[in-house]
Chains A and B, each alone.
Chain A
Amino acid sequence: MATITHEEAHAHTHGPELQHQFETPEQQKEAATLGMWAFLVTEIMLFGGIFMAYIAYRWAFPEAWEESAALLNTPLATVNTVVLLVSSLTVALAVNAAEEGRKRRLITMLVLTIVLGVTFLVIKGYEYSEKFAHCAGAKDPISWITGSDLHESHECLVPGRGFMFPDEHGSTSGGHGAAKTATQSGHQLFFLLYFSATGLHAIHMIIGLGVMTTILVMALRDRFSPTYFTPVEIGGLYWHLIDIIWVFLFPLFYLV
């Protein structure tokens, strides 16, 4: 390798996917994988900050945590967990299909992944809109739009100035009232962390969907072969990480 110039080496021995700075496709692939892992390390640390806040405040306000978590929609979150775990399987199978050079199967799996990802976001969006609908005084998102059906007890679980956690007697108290603020702060922190963590997760899901769509387009254009499928593999790594984050978010927020 040392005796021939790079241009010659590249033109003669490898396909167009080998970038100029690498000597061999193996080197390129290993670099991509290691780079993706280094990136995933930063993602884990990014969520780590939120988890740190979670630990500190859960330790400080255990009762508030228990009362607040009861108001989240656990059945929907369970469905979402299943959706994400299945999507992780389809991604793993997509990588497997790319490795074996089965284009049709690869495309099927990628499409399935995207559908599952969108499903997750739709369910998540419904959960969010439920909380916002309660703030607006409606019972659920649909009656919020149609303007019928008021919510029986006034509550607002979206953190902010209008935050109002329903107390045990069903009566309500303002989040701004000085006396109640101190007792409500734990609840507000729970929902703040809930929205921050799941919101950040949802942003990552959207980016992940973009990645998957890009890979799908590349697959449709026949850009992959059993010797070159690095984008599928590192895109898959990113998707699995999103899954892992959810694996922790689910018990930490819904199963308190």
Chain B
Amino acid sequence: MAEQHAHAHAHHHGEKHTHISRGTYYRVFAALMVLMVLTVAAWWVEKNLLEIPGWLAVTIAMSIAIAKTVLIVLYFMHVKISSRMTQVYAAGAFVWLIILFVITMGDYVARGWPPQAGPLP
């Protein structure tokens, strides 16, 4: 199992298993705070300064949320240095969420809302 961790971060003391250093945690935390400020700022700008289309606003907010999630999962939750199986399970959860969302929304979009306004008369 130690071999699987070979691509881990540099570590400053001679333990057998690799781990993520405290400095990395602080840097990740700083990045998270920056992202949080960004997402609130983007929202404020949309509300008060300039109109942007709704889909773009959602895309911005969701991209930032996904970026935060990736940071937390990879570093705080140690997935970056975890076994391959853990990585597969972590990724699998999100893939399955997307299956649920995409297929269900596929039905909604093709059906239209409210139902009588769908593509078929």
Which residues of A approach B to under 8 Å, CB–CB? 26, 30, 33-34, 37-38, 40-41, 44-45, 48, 51-52, 55-56, 59-60, 62, 74, 78, 81-82, 85-86, 88-89, 91-93, 95-96, 99-100, 226, 233, 236-237, 240-241, 243-244, 247-248, 250-252, 255
Contacts and interface: CB of A to CB of B under 8 A. Distances in A.
Given A59-B105, A88-B72, A255 B39 contact: yes
Contacts, number: 120
7 contacts: A41-B89, A41-B96, A55-B104, A59-B108, A93-B22, A96-B25, A251-B43
B101 A52 contact: yes
Contacts of A255: 39-40, 42-43, 61
B67 to A, nearest CB: 10
Which of B33, B68, B78, B90 has the most chain A CB atoms inside 10 A of its CB?
A: B68
Contacts of A45: 93, 96-97, 100
Majority SS at the chain A contact face: helix
A206 to B, nearest CB: 21
Nearest to B36: A81
B119 to A, nearest CB: 15
B36 A40 contact: no
Contact of A85 (B32, B40, B75, B83): B32
A34 B89 contact: yes
A37 B73 CA distance: 11
B92 interface: yes
A99 B25 CA distance: 14
A252 B97 CA distance: 16
Contact of B97 (A48, A62, A89): A48
Contact of A244 (B69, B78, B82, B108): B69
B65 A93 contact: no
A184 B61 CA distance: 26
A244 B32 CA distance: 11
A240 B65 CA distance: 14
Nearest to A251: B61
Contact of A237 (B77, B100, B105): B77
Interface string B23-50: 0011011001100100110110000000
Given A96-B22, A251-B65, A56 B104 contact: yes
B40 A248 contact: no
Contacts of B26: 89
Contact of B76 (A30, A34, A240): A240
Contacts of A243: 72
Nearest to A99: B19
B1 interface: yes
B29 A52 contact: no
A82 B37 CA distance: 10
